[in-house]
Chain A
């Protein structure tokens, strides 16, 4: 398979307090057509920023270096009509649908405006497709919903509208930025199932951003774990879940609540997550919180090395292999 998306040494700096601070410190990613990749990490680890960098939605004043290629074409330098054409190939589903839809426009307008404006469809065709897609995301009375305003729909319903809308332009890549985080648990499962099903049906590639490692592993072919603006481990979801190679991945897996084991207290990772611009230069960013930290971890920043079909960013990977715990099977 040929790579749909290739990211090489992506560095993004944002102006914070007058200085440019790095929020992404060298991201390398490769995504094949139709593949789903999970991007997991704590708040501020840079997962959303990665998606925003791909879709060129960075805050004003952001500075980008490195390269992002979509279908072989560099996208970091696209402008004007070329940028708009690229963006039609990539759809985004946001965490909070309510704030991402113009509150004074009807659902039908929201869904059809872009494709009509691009001239790819007539109003009638667009409306028919919108009704079909609303049905596909299991919204009842789709025809009637087109005339509703966003405030008349619940959060879960609105997120399904957002997903349907993301599919309107037949994109090839879907960037789903915590699409279920703002929803309640039962709705989450339903929305996730719909998203997963529609993506598979359409052979759509997806970058799924979440802080829920297990959820990412469940719906994605591969999963990347981010920490302080870097990818610390990437591998097949199965491998990540059962055989983590990075102490951070293992710590994340162990800190989730379980119903099959009685625990007095949830395991937590000690310390605070580091924002990427606080990360030390010549050391592992996770060293301060890592139970396995050794001298080697604070004297040199570990590179991302290929291991077991994936890659991990840990100086002690050879010593720790096999000792870290994942999800028991």
Chain B
């Protein structure tokens, strides 16, 4: 998977890979690719300083050289959108990476051990499902103070069951396949069989589920930032931008908030579609 977008892959092979996720999936992958690129280089290509309040007297006004004009605090909207891509996507990235690590470890342990251990883990996951991530994040902000870090930690834990449940199902199915038994009778350790055989063979569903969760995490983190408990102003972040420019919606100047919202929605939808296509492809292979 990691090499698929690299330059080492021949264009024809890349095209064949993309064809397995369909045209809509391909568009989604391209949208995500562009968003990821901006997240990496965004802060360096802003035409103006995203935190400069030069246009403080020109709130919500357009101005030459400012593509989307000024925001509520007289900052360049376009520059803030570019710079905001990084903070908006970094949080979900960490959430997904952390919940995958934790979720996959729990799922494979449960599928491998089975029996009572599996029953206990599965019940614990079902209970964990009941906790809404965003409420926990608000609670964490109350305890540890507002900020991206607390929100990311809490959401990582809250999303772990979503990964673990799906992967457990897949791993359980894989575990019962004869080739796993054949490895066992060769005297190979459980650890090795899990890491080198079981894990790679459930990686498809892990990637699919992780992609979908990325979208969810992005919405949750933007919402947490919107209510002021996540990314703190004046940092550029799409959720923060919606919050900062909300008065514009009332006075007929919705563009700064709407643009930030569109960026968010566009990327989230792309992640959802791609996640769903990857899951469907994975199911097709099985």
Knowing A85-B187, A117-B189, A117-B192, the reply to whether A60 touches B179 (Cβ < 8 A) is: no
A5 CA to B150 CA in the complex, in Å?
Answer: 60
1/0 contact string of B197-227 vs chain A (CB within 8 Å) = 1001100000000000000000000000000
A321 CA to B187 CA in the complex, in Å?
Answer: 45
8 A Cβ contacts from B129-175 to A: none
Interface stretch (choices A95-103, A294-302, A305-313): A95-103
Q: Is B9 an interface residue (CB 8 A)?
A: no
A307 CA to B246 CA in the complex, in Å?
Answer: 96
Cβ–Cβ contact B182 & A100, under 8 A: yes
Cβ–Cβ contact B186 & A101, under 8 A: no
Q: Is A37 an interface residue (CB 8 A)?
A: no
Cβ–Cβ contact B177 & A84, under 8 A: no
Interface stretch (choices A86-94, A125-133, A184-192, A237-245): A86-94
A112 CA to B183 CA in the complex, in Å?
Answer: 12
A223 CA to B113 CA in the complex, in Å?
Answer: 37
Cβ–Cβ contact A99 & B188, under 8 A: no
Cβ–Cβ contact A99 & B187, under 8 A: no
Q: How far is the CB of B110 from chain A (nearest CB, A)?
A: 13
B201 contact set on A, CB distance < 8 A = 102, 104
Q: Is A151 an interface residue (CB 8 A)?
A: no
A94 CA to B197 CA in the complex, in Å?
Answer: 19
Q: Is B3 an interface residue (CB 8 A)?
A: no
1/0 contact string of A102-116 vs chain B (CB within 8 Å) = 111100000001100
A114 CA to B179 CA in the complex, in Å?
Answer: 13
A85 CA to B181 CA in the complex, in Å?
Answer: 16
Q: How far is the CB of B214 from chain A (nearest CB, A)?
A: 25
Q: Who on chain A is nearest to B201 by CB?
A: A104
Q: Is B184 an interface residue (CB 8 A)?
A: yes
A104 CA to B174 CA in the complex, in Å?
Answer: 13
Cβ–Cβ contact A57 & B186, under 8 A: no
Where chain B touches its partner, the secondary structure class is helix
- Chain A's interface size range is 20 to 34
A57 CA to B180 CA in the complex, in Å?
Answer: 11
Q: Is A35 an interface residue (CB 8 A)?
A: no
Q: Who on chain A is nearest to B115 by CB?
A: A60
A99 CA to B115 CA in the complex, in Å?
Answer: 25
Cβ–Cβ contact A60 & B114, under 8 A: yes
Cβ–Cβ contact B185 & A87, under 8 A: yes
Q: Is B12 an interface residue (CB 8 A)?
A: no
Q: Is B16 an interface residue (CB 8 A)?
A: no
Q: Who on chain B is nearest to A166 by CB?
A: B186
Q: Is B13 an interface residue (CB 8 A)?
A: no
Cβ–Cβ contact B192 & A90, under 8 A: no
B23 contact set on A, CB distance < 8 A = none
A88 contact set on B, CB distance < 8 A = 186-187
Q: Is A55 an interface residue (CB 8 A)?
A: yes
1/0 contact string of A211-236 vs chain B (CB within 8 Å) = 00000000000000000000000000
A114 contact set on B, CB distance < 8 A = 183, 186-188
A100 contact set on B, CB distance < 8 A = 178-179, 181-182
Q: Which of A55, A84, A99, A101 is the one whose CB lies under 8 Å from B189?
A: A84
B182 contact set on A, CB distance < 8 A = 92, 94, 100-101
Cβ–Cβ contact B187 & A169, under 8 A: yes
Cβ–Cβ contact A169 & B178, under 8 A: no
Most buried by A among B115, B185, B200, B201: B185
Knowing A102-B197, A117-B189, A117-B192, the reply to whether A96 touches B181 (Cβ < 8 A) is: no
A83 CA to B185 CA in the complex, in Å?
Answer: 9
8 A Cβ contacts from B105-139 to A: 114-115
Cβ–Cβ contact A84 & B179, under 8 A: no
Q: How far is the CB of A63 from chain B (nearest CB, A)?
A: 13
Cβ–Cβ contact B189 & A57, under 8 A: no
Cβ–Cβ contact B177 & A99, under 8 A: yes
Q: Who on chain B is nearest to A101 by CB?
A: B179
Q: How far is the CB of B189 from chain A (nearest CB, A)?
A: 6
A226 CA to B179 CA in the complex, in Å?
Answer: 27
Q: Is A202 an interface residue (CB 8 A)?
A: no
Cβ–Cβ contact A90 & B185, under 8 A: yes
Most buried by A among B182, B184, B189: B182
Q: Which of A57, A84, A117 is the one whose CB lies under 8 Å from B181?
A: A57
Q: Who on chain A is nearest to B184 by CB?
A: A57
A124 CA to B126 CA in the complex, in Å?
Answer: 48
Q: Is A118 an interface residue (CB 8 A)?
A: yes
1/0 contact string of A21-58 vs chain B (CB within 8 Å) = 00000000000000000000000000000000001010
A76 CA to B53 CA in the complex, in Å?
Answer: 77
B187 contact set on A, CB distance < 8 A = 83-88, 114, 118, 169
**28 CB-based A-B contacts, threshold 8 Å:** A57-B181, A57-B184, A60-B115, A84-B187, A84-B188, A86-B187, A87-B186, A87-B187, A90-B185, A91-B185, A92-B185, A94-B178, A100-B179, A100-B181, A100-B182, A102-B179, A102-B183, A102-B201, A104-B200, A104-B201, A113-B188, A114-B186, A114-B187, A114-B188, A117-B189, A117-B192, A169-B186, A169-B187
List residues of chain A with CB under 8 Å of any chain B CB.
55, 57, 60, 83-88, 90-92, 94, 96, 99-105, 113-114, 117-118, 169
